[in-house]
Amino acid sequence: MGCFFMCDICLDCIGDTHLKEQLKESAAQIECTYCGEESLGISIEELARTVDGPLRDYCQIGEEETHYSADSDKASYEQAGENLNYILQEEIEIDEPAATALESKLMDMDDYRPQDGEESFYEDNCNYHRRELSSWVYQDKWREYSHRIKHKRRFFDEDAKQLLAEIIGAPGTTAALELPCFLIGPQDPITLLHRARRASGEGKTLEIKNDAVKQLGPPPSGSASAGRMNAQGISVFYAALSKETALAEIRPSVGGVVAVASFSIDRQLRLLDLSRLGEVPYGSIFDPEYDDRVSRLSFLEGFHHLIARPIQPNHEPLEYLPTQAVAEYVVNILDFDGILYASSQSGAVPRPGESSHSNGSYYPSTLSSEELKLYNVVLLGSAAEIGTTLNLIADTVEFRTVSSISYESEEYYV
């Protein structure tokens, strides 16, 4: 349905709340072309002027993608994205007739100079999708935070805490409420955690056999040495979601003896799930905070890689400082019991930028039970206590000799 005459749309026929808020100022009493009601509204022309900027800033014309079919060498071309009408319906949350009127208004108003080589932005035969926005603002915040922690030696001062609040989320904010939570415990699919320890030498083997709780449990609080996610002296329990990953984590040598055991989880624990960090809808392009939100979320999508990546043993003390403070923040300030993250020894650590958002749509990915086997858990504080939260299951203690280790490698460019 074209708009041959003056067309007006009421605010009730526009779904996007941020846009609605913005339009309130210029809205006047009109008769809505689309629902027929007399109500506060604006002309389609006014709507076009308002949405034009954000559409150009945050949407782009889709790239041509080449597809090869399996049974022939012929390539076919397909443009990424969705057509303009659909994009307008989705972004502004309006019905098709209004989108059609708006589409032709936007094409009419598209001011470009072909004589100067400029091209039109609005085309009814083009596809569009949201632009990727850079996460450099948050990369900078992270760098600043890491630098503070590593070099100024003021572990977790107010400024560092403030930076983490901006990156991960301050308590009670939308950002914090959107953090993905993974539950483990007696009523959840994950009821057991596994730990392993090197046990070569007859003395060591017997020591573990005779006092498995002490030898395979975490060190008593106060005497814990610093690790990837815990500063020295903080009660901590590192474990894996499978025996195999627990074994891989201790980097055993071939021929070596290892001990492995399982622990029951006696109450429900809330873990921050790093694999799904940043995977929330990007929200409205008319939100004044959109830019910042996308920058933050796309940084967080790579955060898992940053936190769980392998670190050379000789770099550990310094390189673990930022993640130690993150874990402390997540547990002490955001009230999680611990963190779920991919084992860096199992090759499960994702590369940044693997998930994709288009048009704000959102498909939450949950880890399959096979994938979960490659994950580690760190519990901090009271959740790490043996006897109150965790219990060693005596008949799960077993000793194994390592017969082979598999390594994966990738090309290293010099």
Rounded to 5 degrees, what angle do the CA atoms 241, 244, 250 make? 95
Cβ neighbours for 382, distance < 8 A, ≥ 6 positions apart? 235, 388, 389
Which C-beta is closer to Zn ion: that of 10 or that of 308?
A: 10
Which CB, 32 or 367, lies closer to Zn ion?
Answer: 32
Packing angle, helices 44-58 and 84-92, rounded to 10: 100
Closer residue to Zn ion, CB minimum distance, 27 or 35 = 35
Give the integer Cα–Cα distance in Å for 28 and 101. Answer: 19
Query: 17 or 361: whose CB is closer to Zn ion?
Result: 17
CA neighbor of 184 nearest in space, from 348, 339, 333, 334? 339
The token pair that represents 355 in the structure block: 């998930």
Nearest CB to Zn ion, comparing residues 13 and 380:
13
Q: Please report how close the Cβ of residue 96 comes to Zn ion at its closest, in angstroms.
A: 14
DSSP secondary-structure letter at 386? Answer: B
Query: Which residue in this structure is represented by tokens 């913005």?
Result: 22
* Beta-bridge partner residues of 390: 265, 386
Q: Do residues 194 and 259 touch, judged by C-beta distance below 8 A?
A: no
Residue 84 CA to residue 65 CA, distance in Å, equals 18
- Tell the smallest beta-carbon distance from residue 286 to Zn ion (Å): 18
Q: Within 10 Å of residue 154's Cβ, how many Cβ atoms?
A: 11
The 10 Å Cβ neighbour count of residue 113 is 8
**CB 51, min distance to Zn ion, A:** 17
Closest CB to Zn ion among 34 and 282? 34
- The CB-of-122 to Zn ion minimum distance in angstroms stands at 23
Q: Would you call 166 exposed, middle or buried from its count of C-beta atoms within 10 A (0-12, 13-18, 19+)?
A: middle
Is 32 or 224 the residue whose CB approaches Zn ion more closely? 32
Minimum distance, C-beta of residue 108 to Zn ion, in the bound complex (Å): 22
Q: Give the residue with the Cβ less far from Zn ion, 22 or 221.
A: 22
Question: Whole-angstrom Cα distance, residue 217 to residue 288?
Answer: 50
374 burial type by CB count under 10 A (0-12 exposed, 13-18 middle, 19+ buried): buried
| Residue ranges binding Zn ion (CB under 5 A) | 10, 13, 32, 34-35
Angle at 179 between CA 221 and CA 81, to 5 degrees: 145
State the minimum distance, in angstroms, from the CB of residue 35 to Zn ion. 3
Nearer to Zn ion, 31 or 354 (CB): 31
Name the residue nearer to Zn ion (CB basis): 22 or 358.
Answer: 22
Q: What six digits make up the tokens of 90?
A: 């989705």
Alpha helices in 273-315 (DSSP H): 290-301, 303-308
